[in-house]
Structures are given as C-alpha cells and as structure tokens.
A and B are shown apart, each in its own frame.
Chain A
Amino acid sequence: MNSFSALIPLLIIVFASLCIMILEAFLKKENKDYLAYISIIFLVVCGFFLVRAWNKDFSYFNGNLFLDNLSLFFSFIFLITTFLVILISMKYISLQGVNCGEYYSLLLLALSGMLIMVSSGDLLVIFLGLEVLSISSYSLAGLRRKDEKSSEAAIKYFLLGCFASAFLVYGIALLYGATYSTDIASIINHFQSGESLGLMALIGLGMFVIGFGFKIAVVPFHMWTPDVYEGAPTPITAFFSVGPKAVGFAVLLRVLYPYLKNVQDSSKAIFLLLCIISVLTMVVGNLIALRQTNLKRILAYSSIAHAGYLLIAILAQDNASLVFYLTVYIFMNIGAFAAVIALGKKDKEYLELEDYAGIGFKYPWIGATFSVFLLSLAGFPPTGGFLAKFYVFSAAVRQDLVPLVIIGVLASLISVFYYLRIIVYMYMKEPSYEVDINIDNPGLFLVLFLCLYGVLQLGIFPGNVLILIKQAVTALL
C-alpha cells in the first residue's frame, strides 16, 4: 500500500538526531544528560509506529521504500539495540570523557542508516544507507580523542570501510551493467531467466558479497575488527558488534536467499565462495580468540566467529533460524559488553583478563549475568544461544550440509574454552590486586537485567518470538 506512513519511522529518527544536534549546540553543559532521555523518548515513539505498521505492507517513493514484516522486525531489533546502547552509554561517556551530545546524534544517524538499509529493495538506496551508517560509525569510533587507540581505530575503520564501499559500488555497477537494474527483484529475475549474463553479473555479485563481508567481518576481510573494537569506546564497540553485522546479514538475506533458491546453474560459484568464507570464519575466529587476553579483543574474535555460524544459516536457506540467531545474538552480545563496561571507574576501564579475577564473588550480580551471557555465546542450554545454534545446525543438516555442521560444532567446542576461561577467572582465581569500580549505574544494570531476560526468554520460551519471525520471513517468499 502506497502511504506516507512508510516514511514516518525514518523521519522520527532523523528528526530526533537533528533535535539533539541543535540542543547540543544550544544547551548548557550541565543539562546534557537529558539528551539521552530525549533520544530514548524518540526511540519509543518510533517503536510505536513500527509496531502499528505490522502486516500493513506500507510502501512509498515508487516502492523504493517499503515496510514489509521482515524490515519491520529488523527495524525493531535495531531500535532495541540502540536503546540498550544508549542506556549503557549514559554513565560511561561522562566517566570516560566523551561526554558530548553528538554521541547520541551520531548513534541515531547510524540507526537511520540501518533503517534505510533494511527497508529497501534497491541496491542504490541500500548503498546510501550503508554509507550513512558507516560515516557515523567512523566518527563514533574516534570519539575518545585523548586515546591514541581510538584515533587509530577511527582511521583504520575509515580506510578499510572505504575500501569495502568501493568493492560494493563496483559490484553494484557490474550488476547494473549486466541486468540494467539496481532493483534486487529484477536482478534476480534476470538471473532466473537464464539469459547469458556471463561472468560480469557473477563477478558483480561476488564483489557485492565481499563488500558486505567487510561489514559483517568474515574471515579474509576481518583484519580491522579487533583493532577497531579495541579502540572504540566500549558501548560503541557493543553497537558495532551487533548493529552493522545484523544489518549486513539482513541485506545479504534479501539478496542471497532468492538467488540461491531460484537460480540453479550459476549459483554454485557463490555458494562455494560462501562455504569457504564460512568455514574460514568459524575456524580462524575461534582459534585466534584463544590467545587473546584483552576482553574486548576476545569478544571481537567471538563476534567474527558468530558471523561464520550465521553464514551457515544463509547457506542452509533457513531464514527463520538466521533471524532468530541474530535476535539472540543481539541480547547476549550487548549483555556481555554491558558487563565489561560495568567494570570501570573515572578515566579507567578494566579490560584485561587478570582484572577479572575474583569478580564473581565481589560483584555477584555482574559476575552471574556475565557468566550467563558467556554461556549463551558458547551455546549452552537453557540459554538462547543454544537454541539459536541448534536451529541453524539442524537446518543445515536438513539441507545436506553435514561437513559444514561438523566444522561448526567443532569450532564452537573450541570457543567453549575461551568463554569458560573468563568464568574460571571470575570465580576460581584469587585477585592479586584491588579492582574498585563505580557501581552507581542504574542504566547499565537495567541493560544487564533486560539482556538476561531476553537471553533466557528466547532460550526457554521462544514460541512467541518464533511466530513473529515466521510471519516476518514470509515477506521473502
């Protein structure tokens, strides 16, 4: 249905971001804490409109912008992500000296980029959305200007991000050259009609996948991830590890699912490419994580490894399990980062493994919730992480991808080691020095609680969410 309502959620977020920019410029220093609350209010309003649009299939701008159930579901997930990230940032940015209103403004702009990406079927629009997301992310990564590592992260992210964008644009250009369209549906139609599209279209699609491979950090294209994750402010790292990754998978799902499903002859090459990337990602990500001692780097490599499992879901062509995995992943990863952020005080963060010795008894709430998130990341029942992996692997078995599943299971066995090592440090090591932290941080504890609820709810009673996801993915058929 062609209606202006399709534009409203995006408009609200952009308007919120502009408001915060203006307020930041005009407000006095001591009033800046309110900016977080203002952005949360806008997020809630936007969420309200998203929920109302469910099942309505609004579209606008000649179908360049559409809100089918899948984009609504993803948009809602991104809203939750941003909401959680804002909550964990509130105290952090004043403690770590990045207290400026632009923080929220850029975060909301990044969110608007993600909304643009998931709610369009046109590669040109998707690319523009990706650039909005990326440019905001580059600046967010460099916000801790006193810290050299943060600037390094920003410049590294910027250079490699530009490189990836160039790949992506080149891919889109080749696809356009081969099919005379930037619309995903008609590109797939061209592929399907079996006219000799030749090498050009295939290379275009390959470059498209590689460009997004950078964004979702899969293995040959993952080099930037650990450094950027380490240097960026920690809440922003949490955002990077879920936001761009989830949106990348959402777009890949839109492009690759109909492609792999409908195009028989030429899809073998892309399928093989994805298989190789997936195996490399799982194995390399998990193996390198074993040797890390910095918590942010461990979580960075763990997020790389998770991209590998998610790729299996794409290969198995099981959309519901992919979306479910992403939903669970957002809660458990943001939860884990929230626990890492909790261990900090004025101008100091505790990020080394040694710092975590004895935390489990000294701060039982942080220790317990962090353990649950780590177990979920490793894939233990009864957490959401177990169910997510279970759905993905069983879908893969149904599609006769048994070798991939075996590698996946072995890789997650490796991952258990480094996740459990953190828990062992927290509960079984004697602390050799004092770690005192600022625990006056209600927003962060709210996030820990919400994520704990999310992980357990999705792990024990996933029924309602699964029904919603099933409704959402029908949009693809």
Chain B
Amino acid sequence: MAHFLFFLLAIVCIASVLGMIISKNQAYNALFLVLAFACMGGFFALLDAPFIAVVQIIIYAGAIMILFIFVIMMINLREGLPPERKKWTLYFALGIAVVLFVELILTMKSAFSSLKSGGIEKIGSPTDIGRLLFTEYLYPFEITSILIIAALVGAIVLVKKRDKE
C-alpha cells in the first residue's frame, strides 16, 4: 500500500515538476509547482511526519505559492533572456546540476548505510512538537507573534494609501 502510494505520488510529483519546467506559461508553472508541493506533503505523511506534511501543504502550497503568483503577476516576464545570456545561464545551471547530483548520491550512500545500522527513529509527531513548542521553546514561540506583528505593520504602512497630508 505504502509502496503504491509512494510511486503514485512520485510519478505525479516528477511529472508536475517536469510540466513546470517545460510549460511556457507562468501561471501554469505556478500551478504545477503547487501540485509538486502537495505531493511532497504526501511524502512527508508517508514518512510518519504528519506535522511537516501539514506545514508543507499550508505554508508551501498555500502561502508561499501566493507570493509566487503575486510576483509573477506583478512583474512582466514575457520577454525571455537574451540569447547570449541564455547560453551562459545554461552552462551555469548544468554545472550546478552536476554538483547537486554528486551531492545527492553521496548523501544517499551515507543515508542507506545509517539505515542499515540503526533503523528509523520516530520523530516529528505533532504531539512531540507541540510539547516542545509550548514548554522548552515557549519563548521563541511567543517572539514569533512579535515578528508577525512587525511584518503586518510594515506591510500596511508601506502599501496602504495614507490620508491626504
């Protein structure tokens, strides 16, 4: 069952990422990305990390995507890069992709070896996170409310029209 779900999610995830890269329309790109994020949420749920799954869907697929869409809408991205810069970008991307690939292989190697020795430790259940958040990390938690309020005031004061002065 878990295997089936995993492969289903994996296929949808990879397909949507491919769709995101191939599609020329930015709105489609964003929607494909939402799909990919949602699939990732599914992965986390499969890994017994429901809290991260929920956060992945609420924050990434919900909130971060809104920002993406707004940036797409606000900036006119119609004209692509000029060809000479496109070439340069391509080489750069290739280089980074190779580095990432090597890195992934190395990580996987070490991850598999540690799996054999230890086995999976269950972490990240929402109850555990809640317990930590409201006892040991209570102070940082309360600070986030100040952080949110600072962002709120900043956004309103910069965007909202002021009364005539």
Contact = CB atoms under 8 A, between A and B. Distances in A.
A, B from the same assembly: yes
Interface of A: 14, 17-18, 21, 29, 60-62, 64-65, 97, 99-100, 102, 105-106, 109, 112-113, 116, 120, 122, 124-125, 128-129, 131-132, 135-136, 138-139, 142-143, 145, 154
A455 to B, nearest CB: 32
A64 B165 contact: no
Given A109-B149, A135-B150, A102 B157 contact: yes
Contacts of B140: 64, 122, 124-125, 128
A106 B140 CA distance: 20
B103 to A, nearest CB: 15
Given A29-B163, A99-B165, A106-B150, A129 B143 contact: yes
A97 B151 CA distance: 22
B165 A131 contact: no
Please list the 5 inter-chain residue pairs (A to B) with the smallest Cβ-Cβ separation, ordered nearest first.
A139-B154, A61-B139, A102-B157, A64-B139, A128-B143
B153 A128 contact: no
B115 interface: no
B147 interface: yes
A125 B138 CA distance: 10
A143 B155 CA distance: 11
Interface of B: 136-140, 143-144, 146-147, 149-151, 153-158, 162-163, 165
Nearest to B162: A100
Contacts of B143: 116, 125, 128-129, 132
B106 to A, nearest CB: 14
Contacts of A136: 150, 153-154
Q: Which of B140, B150, B151, B153 has the most CB of A within 10 A?
A: B150
Given A29-B163, A106-B150, A109-B150, A128 B144 contact: yes
A132 B154 contact: no
9 contacts: A21-B153, A97-B165, A109-B153, A113-B146, A125-B140, A129-B143, A135-B154, A143-B157, A145-B158
A18 to B, nearest CB: 8
A125 B153 contact: no
Nearest to B146: A132
A131 B146 CA distance: 10
A154 B158 contact: yes
Nearest to A20: B153
